[in-house]
């Protein structure tokens, strides 16, 4: 689907400039934005999304083939997910980006949130978390059996999302204030920039690593980034 004559200059950009003084321009940007299911199509909920399937990125054939190999490697996603985690953290998890689609491929904007978890203590040796304070249950860890449990100073947060909740579906934005429109436009623009950053990072990884087959322990062969 990608012409082999296409050079890197034709790379598809997700982010767009929007005049945030113009109600019409912001409304057109938000209403015209690509959307995708938040769960499965039967759920009928959609949100702002970016089609990040390889054929849609405007890359040359060689790079597309290389990325095709890379997306089979789970380590590749860990690096990209750092970018996603940064976006989520900046929005206090009220907004979260996540992959959806049969084989990933679509980056979707989700609503979510965070709250203090119920965990009160953890094991400094093996990391096991526990719902009771060491004042109640002592310092011995039930998993590794070492006396290395300590209380959390601040309980870790629990992150949740609403994968079934649609975002601005069938919204005409008519009764939105200009401020609300600006806020939403900035959020979606930042989401689009995240998609661009993910592509840039993916290209960087592709250019700086080669895949080699390494035999790991007994009979499993897996691909690793080197």
Give me the 6-35 binding string for Zn ion, x by CB under 5 A, dash otherwise.
Answer: ------------------------------
Residue with Cβ nearer Zn ion (81 or 139): 139
DSSP for residue 102: B
Which of positions 80-99 make contact with Zn ion (CB under 5 A)? none
Which of positions 158-217 make contact with Zn ion (CB under 5 A)? none
Beta strands in 79-194 (DSSP E): 95-100, 106-116, 121-123, 129-130, 149-151, 157-161
Nearest to 91 by CA among 184, 197, 172, 199: 184
Which of positions 109-148 make contact with Zn ion (CB under 5 A)? 123, 125-126, 128, 141, 143-144
The contacts found for 183-187 with CB under 8 angstroms, 24 or more apart, are: 184/26, 184/30, 185/18, 185/20, 185/26, 185/29, 185/30, 186/20, 187/91, 187/95, 187/109
Q: How many residues bind Zn ion (CB under 5 A)?
A: 7
Q: How far is the CB of 39 from Zn ion (least distance, A)?
A: 36
Q: How far is the CB of 152 from Zn ion (least distance, A)?
A: 15
Q: How far is the CB of 147 from Zn ion (least distance, A)?
A: 9
Q: Which residues bind Zn ion (CB under 5 A)?
A: 123, 125-126, 128, 141, 143-144
């Amino acid at each position: 689907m990608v012409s082999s004559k296409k050079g890197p200059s034709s790379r598809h950009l997700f982010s767009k400039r929007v005049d945030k003084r113009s109600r019409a321009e912001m409304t057109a940007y938000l209403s015209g934005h690509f959307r995708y299911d938040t769960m499965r199509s039967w759920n009928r909920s959609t949100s702002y999304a970016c089609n990040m399937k390889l054929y849609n990125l405007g890359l040359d054939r060689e790079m597309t083939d290389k990325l095709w190999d890379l997306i089979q490697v789970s380590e590749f996603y860990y690096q990209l997910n750092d970018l996603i985690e940064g976006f989520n953290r900046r929005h206090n998890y009220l907004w979260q980006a996540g992959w959806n689609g049969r084989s990933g491929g679509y980056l979707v904007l989700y609503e979510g949130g965070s709250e203090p978890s119920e965990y009160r203590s953890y094991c400094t040796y093996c990391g096991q978390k526990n719902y009771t304070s060491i004042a109640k249950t002592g310092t011995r860890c039930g998993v590794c059996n070492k006396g290395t449990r300590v209380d959390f100073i601040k309980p870790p947060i629990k992150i949740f999302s609403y994968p079934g909740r649609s975002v601005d579906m069938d919204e005409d934005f008519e009764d939105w204030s200009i401020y609300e429109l600006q806020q939403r436009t900035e959020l979606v623009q930042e989401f689009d920039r995240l998609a661009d950053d993910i592509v840039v990072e993916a290209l960087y990884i592709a250019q700086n690593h080669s895949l080699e087959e390494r035999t790991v322990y007994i009979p499993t062969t897996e691909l690793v980034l080197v």
